[in-house]
Amino acid sequence: MTTENSSNENSAENQEGAEMTTETASSSLANISQAHNLGKRAPGTHVMGSGLEARGVHAWFGKHHALSNVSLDFSAGTVTALIGPSGCGKSTFIRTLNRMHEFIPSAAMAGEVLLDGKDVYAAGTDVTKIRLQIGMVFQKPNPFPSMTIGENVLSGLKLAQLKVDNKDDLLEECLVRAGLWKEVKDRLGAHAGGLSGGQQQRLCIARSLAVKPKVLLMDEPCSALDPGSTLRIEDTINELASSMTIIIVTHNMQQAARVSDYTAFFLSEGGPGQMIEVAPTNEIFSRPRDKRTENYVSGRFG
């Protein structure tokens, strides 16, 4: 639906003889996102999931200051896209949210990350519980190679030592929500390595759903996938958005426009990465407040 609309508009404009300027490109992005938002999730209707709030987050790798003073409020049940050129700290930022940043020995941070109002970095916090509530899908599909498809989906229960009454129901539910059930229901006992890249990534999404996270972080989940698989995963994200808070890092601005309610633009100008601007997605793409955001979303650099 949405893609058809935008392409019609573009071709109409082209027929009128208007050149394909950067303005038309960015406004068509905004149209995609508007159409999408009106159809699926009107602002203010979100109730599920948990809110996550970053307050003045900094991140360091040794002496290298990678991320400076990022404050972002992710309301429960929204999808937020983080965009920006490579090396601007997007991935570092989402890794501070579920405390994966600290795996790098020289890492340090500052600021607060509040999950339902509680700082995940507070003293005495059980970090495994935090990561259980804030799930993560990585750039490269990483199903566990020694497990079958079914075992992969349910691996979270074993790893986090959770008990569930009906594993089969959960297995089916997760795979259905990740949009993979139809393709794998007859070979749940097969090893995950035989799946295609897109299927593996949806398997990883299903795996992270099994432990019922309140927040799902996605670090460029479609960067290694073909357009068909990308579309399937975007459908999955739309599906999930009603029940959890999703934060997705993406280099694909059409994708940001298609899936997100809010978009935050990150940029590093020589120094540490910073969050330049955050706004509802259609605003970022139609009338960005900051000149640098406008340059980026209109494709003038980056």
Partner 1 sequence: MTTTANVIEVKPRKPWKATPTDRATTAFVLLMGLVIAAAAVKFTGLSGKLGFVFAFVIAATALEVFFSIRKYGRKALGDSIATSLIYVGATATFLPVASILLITLKNGVKGLRWNLFTTDMFNASFLDPIGNGGLLHALIGTLLLIVIAMILSVPMGIMTALYLTEIRGKGSNLIQFVVQAMSGVPSVVAGLFIFTSVILITPLKTSAAAGALALTILMIPTVTRTSQEVLLLVPGDLREAGLAMGATQWKTVATIVVPAARNGLITATILGVARIAGETAPLIFTIGGADKLNLNPFKDYQSALPFYVWKGLTLGTPESIQRSWSAILILLILVLALFTTARTLGGRRMK
Q: What are phi and psi of 41, to 5 degrees?
A: -135, 100
Count of residues interacting with partner 1 (CB under 8 A): 25
Strand partners of residue 83: 265
Among 2, 148, 223, 274, binds partner 1 (CB under 8 A): 274
Single-letter residue type at 190: A
CB of 262 to partner 1, least distance (A): 21
Within 254-273, the residues that bind partner 1 by CB under 8 A are 269, 271-272
Strands 273-280 and 262-268: antiparallel
On whether the CB atoms of residues 95 and 67 are closer than 8 A, the answer is no
Among 46, 95, 99, 232, binds partner 1 (CB under 8 A): 99
Asked if 58 interacts with partner 1 (CB under 8 A), we say: yes
Asked if 45 interacts with partner 1 (CB under 8 A), we say: no
The piece of 2-10, 84-92, 102-110, 252-260 that touches partner 1 (CB under 8 A) is 102-110
Residues whose CB falls within 8 Å of the CB of residue 253, separated by 6 or more in sequence, listed in order: 29, 83, 285, 297
Strands 52-61 and 134-137: unpaired
| Of 5, 31, 7, 33, nearest in space to 20 by CA | 7
Asked if 121 interacts with partner 1 (CB under 8 A), we say: yes
Asked if 60 interacts with partner 1 (CB under 8 A), we say: yes
On whether the CB atoms of residues 15 and 7 are closer than 8 A, the answer is no
Asked if 74 interacts with partner 1 (CB under 8 A), we say: no
Within 133-192, the residues that bind partner 1 by CB under 8 A are 161
Asked if 56 interacts with partner 1 (CB under 8 A), we say: yes
CB of 67 to partner 1, least distance (A): 10
What is the 3-state composition of the chain as percent helix, strand, coil, each rounded to the nearest 5?
A: 40, 25, 35
Residues that bind partner 1 (CB under 8 A): 56, 58, 60, 65, 68-69, 99, 102, 107-111, 121-124, 126-128, 161, 269, 271-272, 274
